[in-house]
Amino acid sequence: MKASTFVYPWDVNGDPEAPGRIAALGVRQVTLAAAYHSTRALTPRHPRHRIVTAEHAAVLYPTDLAGGRWAGRTLRPCPAGDWAPGDAYGEAAAALAEAGLEVHSWVVLAHNSRLGAEHPDTSVVNAYGDRYPWAPCIAQPATRAYLVDLAAEAAVRPGAAGTELESLGWYGLQHLHAHDKTGGVGLGDAGQYLMALCFCPACRKGYGAQGLDADELAAAVRTALEPVWQGAPDDGGWAGVEKLLGEETARATRAWRDETARTLQEAAVAAVRAAAPQGFQILLHADPVTYHVGANPGVDPAHILSVADGVVVPCAGGPGLLTPFAEQRREGAVLAANLGIVSGMGGSPGTLAADAARARELGATEIRLYHAGLASDGDLAAVREALAVL
């Protein structure tokens, strides 16, 4: 069963032992960040540092911001600072390839607080008028064009055999903003959806095309959420959304959002294919429930497997989300189960062999390990032991 691990360039660059150590885990592939959001990350074995602070979303390779595809554009990617200088991606990719590892790019798209800070009008606006600067609204034409071009550029890096596109869809309240303090009220599945509904001008127009008055919808969302703020239990799932908002209204909001995400995904994948060599693999980080938002945005399994070469599916809560994709029985489709291996972040490297076996029973063709650069020595030892028997 093919295994790949996620890696940041700063896990590798400046540490000559890193490529061999990663290869010794038993993985055949690495998924290496080429465009990434702001983060603070441990590097527990690096000879020069222990903490890397990526201050803003950035591309981790050189790009021509004055010419080419970005000439005259208001929305453009930002270069990284000293946490990933120069061609950090290319340097790390070359070292990993020399160690015998196949390199795929890892591209984070609609999760960008720098974009929201510099261009507030690009952000999702909730029913209360609050902006989410970390969450670009994917309905806005300029934002969509930016994301499609970023996907094509960041995915097809020299030497990459494929890409994994993360956050290619709607983003909402969760995952995360600096020193996050939003857990005081359990919003549940339905509350998260309502708090993710956007009311920027593009979305207001979109709701109108579905027969909804945007002002009335925003008021309905606020009314529906009031019991949630008071501690009412989560009704769960889409039925909870329909109960809070009304079936007809809920369906209309979902129709607008599903079509917006679907067409963006189609455009981004097509742009990557146009820029990539033959045989280049394109995967999306995805959830099979279309109204879910975040790093693994909701998709329709049948549709996305007709567009991309496969999906990377979050399995931290178990492998059940694999089933709707596996039921499509798409020959040659990659169904990669994303498994946590950092015990300090809730991962379970000690049960990796069993978790991978269960994922395979439910249709997984590959596994992804999150994340070799963040894991402790003990976690990595457990991974080596597990991969030796898979």
Cβ atoms of 4 and 104 closer than 8 Å: yes
Specify the higher pLDDT residue, 188 or 130: 130
> pLDDT by residue (tens digit) across 250-276?
999 999 999 999 999 999 999 999 999
Cβ atoms of 222 and 130 closer than 8 Å: no
> pLDDT by residue (tens digit) across 334-374?
999 999 999 999 999 999 999 999 999 999 999 999 999 99
Q: What is d(CA 174, CA 180) in angstroms, rounded to the nearest whole number? A: 9
Residue 234 has pLDDT above 80, yes or no: no
Tokens representing 345 are 């972040």
Query: What Rg value do the Cα atoms of the chain yield, rounded?
Result: 21
> How deeply is 331 buried, as exposed, middle or buried, from its count of CB atoms within 10 A (0-12, 13-18, 19+)?
exposed
259, 305, 299: which is closest to 283 by C-alpha? 305
Specify the higher pLDDT residue, 184 or 141: 141
> pLDDT by residue (tens digit) across 90-102?
999 999 999 999 9
Interacting residues of 266 by C-beta distance below 8 A, sequence separation 6+: 307
State the first-to-last Cα distance of the chain, in angstroms, to the nearest integer. Answer: 6
Residue 124 in 3-state DSSP? Answer: strand
pLDDT of the residue at 175? 64
pLDDT of the residue at 176? 65
Interacting residues of 111 by C-beta distance below 8 A, sequence separation 6+: 37, 57, 134, 135, 136, 166, 167, 171, 175, 295
Whole-structure pTM value: 0.96
Return the residue matching tokens 């050189």. Answer: 62
Greatest Cα pair distance in the chain: 60
74: pLDDT confidence band, cut at 50, 70 and 90? very high
Q: Tell me: domain 2-182+259-387, CATH 3.20.20.80, correct?
A: yes
pLDDT of the residue at 188? 87
Residue 186 has pLDDT above 90, yes or no: no
Least confident of 66-75, 145-154, 224-233: 224-233
Instruction: Report the percent of the chain where pLDDT is more than 90.
Output: 91
Residue 149 has pLDDT above 90, yes or no: yes
Instruction: Report the percent of the chain where pLDDT is more than 70.
Output: 98
> pLDDT by residue (tens digit) across 285-341?
999 999 999 999 999 999 999 999 999 999 999 999 999 999 999 999 999 999 999
What ranges do the domains of the chain cover? 2-182+259-387
